[in-house]
Structures are given as structure tokens and as C-alpha cells.
Amino acid sequence: MITTQKASRWTLASFALIVCAAQVAQSQDRYTITDDDAMGAGSPHVVVLHDRTAGAEAAIAPTEGGELSSYKVTRNGQMLELIYNARNYTSPKTFHGRGPLLWPAVGAQYPVGTIPQASCGMGTYPVMGKTYPMPCHGFAKEMPWKEISRSADAHGARVTVELQDSDVTRKFYPFAFHLDAIYELADGHLTVDYVVKADQSNPEPMPFSIGNHLGFNIPLVKGSNPDDVKFETQNTVQLLRNSAGVLNGESKPRTFDPPEALGSFDAHVALPLSGYRSQPFARLVDPSGLTVRVTETSTTTLPEPLIRINAYGGPKIGYFCPEPWFGVQNSLNTGVGLIKLQPGASWTFRLLIEVEAPNHQAPQADSGVERFGGDFAFVEGPVWVTRDGGYLLFSDIYNSKTMKMSQPNQPSVYRRFTNAGNGNTLDAQGRLYTAERDGHRISRLELNGDVSVVAGQYEGKRFNSPNDVVVRRDGNIYFSDPASAAVLEKRELDFNGVYHVSPDGKVSLVAKMTRPNGVALTPDGKTLYVADTTERKIMAYDLDAAGNTSNERIFLSGLNGAPDGLRVAANGNVYIATGPIVIYTPQGKLIKSINFPELAANCEFGGPDLKTLYVTARTSVYSVQVQDKGWTIH
């Protein structure tokens, strides 16, 4: 017999379990995986990843080179196919469109000093004392791959397909290897990790280059003018080719930053784009506002010349390929743009395909929040500059730019090639300090425009991916250094830390944290605050006259949301970006919360009276008037 009290407890417990199970089931229902035929019965099999909340799906064809066969997104209630020739396997003579992997070589391979008979036919190359044939762009796209795993949970849907060495591959390539393509659909975006593993049995380093013949429909949205689609990438050099399409060893200055309308662009011979100074990316912006971004990351890099985007196609033929590359045409023969992977080692090439939404929810009419500027990639690190009438600087991280705004919706580029710069701050002289994620350093933009390195190593080891930075009036610097998942290079430090740089340049460790993020100082320079995003807490440290830290303590814990950027008002109130902006007294009492149409990542006081709070939130910068006044050191 169950007593009333016990029955009540059992009922409540059971109800809690049912609710929990329902929530888990609901979250897992967002991401699912199904199987389909590419074009109906008898056509190649595809594995389809679904994000039902975002209205996105990606199809992978294991037997067709393990390629990305389709990528659809939903806009204004309509599902759009972004990939040219998606799921189309009727013609074996061409692979224009879709997204096949180009490996173990990019471009035609031909003996040095000769001109290929075909622009992209079968070539040859020497290795280990023998000559081997090599299909144009490698053989991976022509081989059947094998699905080895799939899963869907509350975080995304993913499938891994694999190509291994075999009797067939060894006719072209005498190396033992495993090649995985790991596709993951999450938050409507698609990540593809190509993981190349050289077998321990290989007698020498395994050479390869890599790329992807990724083709998008032009225009992206039916009804848009294809000539008005814009292409953006931050190359500084175009490698030149002769009439046969062979690189001639020459180059010319060339950039697509700022973006250019495709117009009459018609590249039947691809444009090899090089000279990247920040993380390579390409953007296609449809006149409707829909934007597709392809960002590439690799475990290691190589010296120039190195092609990172190979631009191909144009509006007249209905597609454009901002092909992500890591190599140079004919790399197996010239040795230029060639990775040489040691036996037993692995190397990763990551592609992130993101669709940037053209529309944003307007701020609530009675909130006082205004959209100061928008349509950026991902903004962070706001800092207010008081000179020249006052203006806001902030990072557009994915575009590796520091932006400047003094008037609403009138952005300009303040600094290019920031190595995915994140947090920013100024010193008493007005010099700009930036935490560079991909540069693994804290840099300083001098007043004459030069960029110098303030801190790049700790005890001889490169920093992970600096996130935020702040400078005290006397020149003492404090910054956070978590390990960003966007960085694939091998870590040299095995912990995430907070650091202090003294005015004489000495770097010392303040603390190790799970994931240090935003940093801020009190106006008197006697207290340092640091956000630990994973632990959802704010740490505090006392600072002495020399800038040394002591009395580590928890200022706030159990925050409702992951804390990111921080600012301290002149009266000591602490502003924290946790999705909204939450405001606490110096004693840790919650004052209020301010909501924004997008998730707030950081904030800064500005305006003539320093009572305007500028908030960086994903793709936009917002402003709102607050009661507290900010402060500056410059």
C-alpha cells in the first residue's frame, strides 16, 4: 500500500521524469537522419541530415565520392536548394555543382615543363621512384565511400563516411591512408571535417593537396537578378595562368574585399586566389539579402603561394563555385602547396557553410533598444573612442575586420586582416589592443597604423585563441585565452588561462579556468573581473599598484545564461552579456535585465555622456540609454 504522502512524492517524481523525457525527445526531434534516393528509384543513395527547427537539410552521397549532394534552407516559408546540380547524377561526364572532395591533388597533374593535352584530364606524377597516373583533382571524387557512423541528438545530426586505401587506389597513389568526411548539421549550418590519416606503415611522408568543387545556384533565390549577386573574399593576390590554364609563376594584386557584383563575371578558367592574411572565407550575397558563407580552417598552413579559394563559374551559366582549396595546381609535380603528412599523423580540413539570415526581429517598441547597425557576420569587442567626435569600434570576427561607426547604419572598415580579432580595448594613449583568435596573440594598432605584438607566448608556448583584453591606466594588460573550437591547429598550452602583461612586457598567469571569456576592470583599477562561460560564474581579483593579482573569489555564480563580455560602470555596477544584458551591483545584487532581438555577446558605454550602452549581438549592434555612466582611460 502506498501512503498519500509517498504517492504524492511518487507522482511528482514521475511527472518530473515524464516532463524531462518529453523535453529530451522534443530536443532530439529537432535533428533527425533519413535515407533517400537521390533522384528516385535506382538512383544513388543519399543520407539526409535534417534540422527541423531551422528548416535545413543536407544530403550526402556515400557511393558518389562521399560528396555533399544537396543543401537546403528555408526562407520566408520556402525551402531553397543552394547547391547547383543538386542530387543530379544523370551525367557521369561532369561534376559541376554539388560538393565533391578534390584529393589527393587539386587541379591537373602533369610533368614539370610540359603542357597538358586536356585542361583537366588524366596526368602523371613521380613518387618513391615511380611514375603514377592521377585523375584531375584526384581520385576521391570518383570512388565509392563507406558510411561508418551516424547519430542525431539535441546538438545536431551527423554522419561520417570513409575512404580507405585499396588495390584500386594504390594504382594511383602508393600510400596507406584513411580519409574521413564528417558532416554535421547544427543550427541550420553545415560543418564538414575532412580528416586525412597517414598509416604508420607508409615508408615516407604522404603528399597531398585538397579542395572542394562546391557549386552554388546563381542567383541563390529564384527571381533575383543573378548579375547583382555579390562575391566577397579577402584575397590580396591572383595567381596568373597561361592560355592552356597552366600557372605561369606570375601574380597580380587582386581582392574581392569589398565585395563585387558578379555582373559579367565568367570564369571558365578558374581564378586562383591567394595572399590571405586572415582565416579564408568566401561569401555570396543574393540581392534578396540571403547570404551564404564558406569558411575554411586547417590543422596547419603552408607558405605562399597557396590557393585558398578557386573562383569558377558565373551568372550566365547559372552557378558559381567559390571553391575552398588548400594547395596549388600541379602540386604533386612541383611540390608547391603540398602537405607531406608523416606516417601515423593526421590532418584536418574544415569547411563551415553558413546561411546568414537577411531579416532580423525589430526591437520591442517600448524597450528603448535601437538597432545601431547590422548585417555583419558575427560582432564582438565594442570599444568607444572619444576623439574626433566619438565613434564605436567593434570586431566583425568572421570577416576579420575591425569596424567603425559614428552614425547609425553607416559602418566603415577601420582595420582589415585582424586574424579573427575578438575583444578590443584602448590604452591611455588611445592605441587599440585586439585579442586575435587565429593570430594567437594580443596585438596593438599603433597611432601611425603599424601593428605590433604585445603578447604571443607564455613560457615559450603559443597562446590558444585570445578572446578578450583590457588595459589599466598605468599600462598593465589583462586578457583571457580559451581554446576556440574554430581553431584546428594543435594546441601548445594544455589549459585555458587568464594572463597579466606588465608594462615592461612580462607575461604571467593569473589563473586557469574552464573557459575564460570577458574581462573588465573597475574604474579605480583595483579589481579585475573575469567571466567563466562554462562554469557560468564571474571571478574577481584584487590588483595592487604593480598590477599583480590576489584574493581570487567568486563574485557571481549560477548565472542564468553563459556569461560573455563584461563592462563596469563608473559607479561600480557590473554589466554582463549572458544573452540579455544583466546588471548587478558591486555587492552582487541583480538590478535589471535588458533583452535584445539577438543574443548579446558584449557591451560598451559610449555617446557624448557615456550613458549609451552599445551591445554587440550576433549580426547586429544595438544601442540603449541606461541610468549608469561609463568611463574611459583615454
**Model confidence pLDDT, tens digit, residues 266-296:** 887 889 999 998 889 999 999 998 999 999 9
pLDDT number for residue 116: 77
In the predicted model, what is the mean pLDDT of the chain? 92
Work out the average pLDDT over 193-219.
97
Cα 85 to Cα 96: distance, rounded to the nearest angstrom: 7
pLDDT of residue 267: 80
How far is Cα 152 from Cα 469, in angstroms, rounded to an integer? 37
pLDDT tens digits for 35-64? Answer: 999 999 999 999 999 999 999 999 999 999
pLDDT at 92: 60
Name which residue leads in pLDDT, 115 or 158: 158
Distance from C-alpha of 300 to C-alpha of 520, rounded to nearest angstrom: 33
Nearest by Cα to 238 from 255, 223, 224: 255
Q: What is the pLDDT of residue 93?
A: 57
What was the pLDDT predicted at 278?
87
Averaged pLDDT for residues 561-568: 97
Tell me the one-letter amino acid at 300. T
Give the mean model confidence (pLDDT) for residues 75-93. Answer: 87
The span from the CA of 540 to the CA of 554, in Å, is 6
361: Cα within 13 Å, side-chain hemisphere: 10
Work out the pLDDT band at 103, boundaries 50, 70, 90.
Answer: very high
- When mean pLDDT is compared across 18-22, 81-85, 153-157, 316-320, the lowest value belongs to 18-22
Q: What is the number of other CB atoms lying within 10 angstroms of the CB of residue 345?
A: 15
Residue 164, classified by CB atoms within 10 Å of its CB into exposed (0-12), middle (13-18) or buried (19+), is middle
Quote the pLDDT of residue 28: 62
> Of the given ranges (125-139, 254-268, 428-442), which has the lowest mean pLDDT?
254-268
In whole angstroms, what is the distance from residue 369 CA to residue 360 CA? Answer: 14
User: Would the pLDDT of 101 be above 70?
Assistant: yes
Burial class (CB in 10 A: 0-12, 13-18, 19+), 386: middle
Which pLDDT band holds residue 12 (cuts at 50, 70, 90)?
Answer: very low
For 495-531, b/e burial (b = at least 16 CB within 10 A) is ebbbbbbeeeeebeebbebebbbbbbbbbebebbbbb
> Nine-digit cell at 269?
578558367
Residues 537 and 554: beta-carbon distance below 8 Å: yes
List pLDDT tens digits, range 340-369. 999 999 999 999 999 976 556 788 888 899
pLDDT at 160 over 60: yes
Of the pLDDT bands very low, low, confident and very high (cuts 50, 70, 90), residue 90 is confident
pLDDT at position 356 is: 78
Q: What is the mean pLDDT of residues 177-204?
A: 97
Taking the C-alpha atoms of residue 295 and residue 398, their distance in angstroms, rounded to an integer, is: 8
Where do the domains of the chain lie, and which CATH numbers do they carry? 30-356 (2.70.98.10), 370-625 (2.120.10.30)
Q: What is residue 521's predicted lDDT score, i.e. its pLDDT?
A: 98
Express the helix, strand and coil content of the chain in percent, nearest 5 each: 5, 50, 45
pLDDT exceeds cutoff 80 at 387: yes
Beta bridge partners of 432: 426, 445
Which DSSP letter does residue 173 get?
-
pLDDT attached to residue 7: 37
Q: Are 45 and 66 spatial neighbours (Cβ–Cβ below 8 Å)?
A: no
Is 553 a residue whose pLDDT tops 60?
A: yes
Q: Is the pLDDT of residue 27 over 60?
A: no
Assign 76 a pLDDT band (cuts: 50, 70, 90): confident
What is the arithmetic mean of pLDDT over 214-223?
A: 95
Give the pLDDT mean for 188-207.
Answer: 98
- Alpha carbon distance 599, 342 (integer Å): 43
Beta strands in 456-543 (DSSP E): 457-458, 461-462, 468-471, 477-481, 496-501, 507-513, 516-521, 527-532, 537-543
Range from 5-19, 315-329, 440-454, 478-492 carrying the lowest mean pLDDT: 5-19
Over residues 600-622, the pLDDT tens digits come to 999 999 999 999 999 999 999 99
Let me know if 472 is exposed, middle or buried by CB neighbors in 10 A (0-12, 13-18, 19+): buried
